Structure 1
Amino acid sequence: MELTFYIAAAVAILSTIMVITRYNMIHALLYLVVSFLAVAVVFFTLGAPFMAALEVIIYAGAIVVLIIFVIMMLNLTREDVQREKEWLQPSVWVGPAILSAVLLAELVYIITAADPVQTEALVAVDAKVVGLALFGPYVLGVQLSGILLMAGIVGAYHLGRQKKKVIHRFLQERSSAA
């Protein structure tokens, strides 16, 4: 079990470095999903399967979809769309696919090699207890993180709108000067 922890941690570190070093947002997003999945495997190996499930559902699901919606709101031009199609060659998917395959093999090994006694011990944290903790003493943190996410969406929308207004104003000035 200790070896699986170190493998998942190495995959998480490697994929996070790839997120930081990618120039293309979509490529970084692919590695971000792999990073979230690796952290979920780390949580699972540490005996927190509920936290691992939350990691996959909240981060790898909801946050990634949120980032995709923000990219869509920025309204790419046709040249950008064509460039994106050229960048999404199968070679781009090789890195995240290999890292995901390592995580999948590791997770299958953990599930098949686990003793029934260990499996029963993994369900120590109940979802109701986590919900009561989040909306009890930690309600301020939950609300602040929601406000932070909303501010990020509004800021991205505002930046996207400003770019569109500047281009529109430039085209109007150019046509009136002619």
Structure 2
Amino acid sequence: MSIPLAIYGLVAVCAAAMVITRTIAVHALVYMVATLLALACVFDTLGAPFAAALEVIVYAGAIMVLFVFVVMMVNLGRPDQEREKSWLTVGTWIVPALLALILLCTLLFGASHVTADPMPMAAGGPIGPQAVGLRLYGPYLLTVELSSFLLLAGLVSAFHIGRRIGERQE
């Protein structure tokens, strides 16, 4: 096992633990993004750059934007000024900065030790976008559509909860 792969895995596990233990939803979402980016690095290190790109685009990009939108729309928590003052403390930024530094150092280490022969691929060879699309929208079409309906139902529910909370505060 390579050293960068172990470091990426360790960062992913640590960031996932931080997601579970955070009481402020926005902080948990930031750690979730760090987890997803570390998993994308794991995929890339294992020789699956397309899976890594999908991880960043679909999960760290689109779905996390949806989560942040819902959290901002519901706006559970303290007033904005009080919340922003807590962000300026040094203790708030220590762990995220440490995880980002570890990822950066590992990325620089990996970039400086690039060889012409990448890690060996799986037995079937590289998997392209067409194979992923056929696999995803072939036998798993119903699962993909049901998950999109589940995300839509969650968004509509969050909108109604946020609207009721806003009506009570007025």
Question: TM-score per shorter chain, which class?
Answer: 0.7 to 0.9
TM-score (norm 2): 0.85
Distance of 2:67 and 2:86 partners within structure 1? 19
Q: How many residues align?
A: 167
Cα distance in 1, alignment partners of residues 143 and 112 from structure 2 = 37
Q: CA offset at residue 120 of structure 1?
A: 9.0
d(CA) in 2 for partners of 1:87, 1:36: 25
Superposed, which structure 2 residues align to 1:2-151 within 5 Å? 2-75=2-75, 80-89=79-88, 91=90, 92-118=92-118, 124-151=126-153
Q: Is the 8 A contact 2:26 2:71 kept in 1?
A: no
Say if 1:74 and 1:125 are closer, same or farther in 2 by CA, change over 3 A.
same
Long gaps (5+) in structure 2: none
Which amino acid letter does the alignment assign opposite residue 60 of structure 1? A
Is the contact between residue 19 and residue 28 of structure 2 (CA under 8 Å) also seen in structure 1? yes
Amino acid across the alignment from 2:158: A
- In structure 2, distance between residues paired with 1:113 and 1:121: 19
Is the counterpart of residue 162 in structure 1 residue 164 in structure 2?
yes
Partner Cα distance (1:120, 1:4) in 2: 16
Higher Cα Rg, which structure: 1
Contact (CA 8 Å) 2:46, 2:119: kept in 1 or not? no
**Secondary structure at the residue paired with 1:116?**
coil
1:127-160: CA deviation from partner (whole Å, max 9, x where unpaired): 1221121111221121121111111111111111
- Structure 1 gaps of 5+ residues are 169-178
Deviations along 1:25-56, one digit per CA (max 9) or x if unpaired, are 22212211111111111112222111111111
**Following the alignment from structure 2 to structure 1, what is the Cα–Cα distance between the partners of residues 3 and 119?**
18
Distance (Å, rounded) in 1 between the aligned partners of 2:21 and 2:30: 13
- C-alpha separation between the residues in 2 aligned to 1:75 and 1:28? 15
In the alignment, the residues of structure 2 paired with residue 148 and residue 157 of structure 1 have an alpha-carbon distance, to the nearest angstrom, of 14
- Structure 1 stretches of 4+ with a deviation exceeding 6 A read none
Aligned to 1:172: none
In terms of fraction of residues, the more helix-rich structure is 1
Secondary structure in 1 aligned to 2:118?
helix
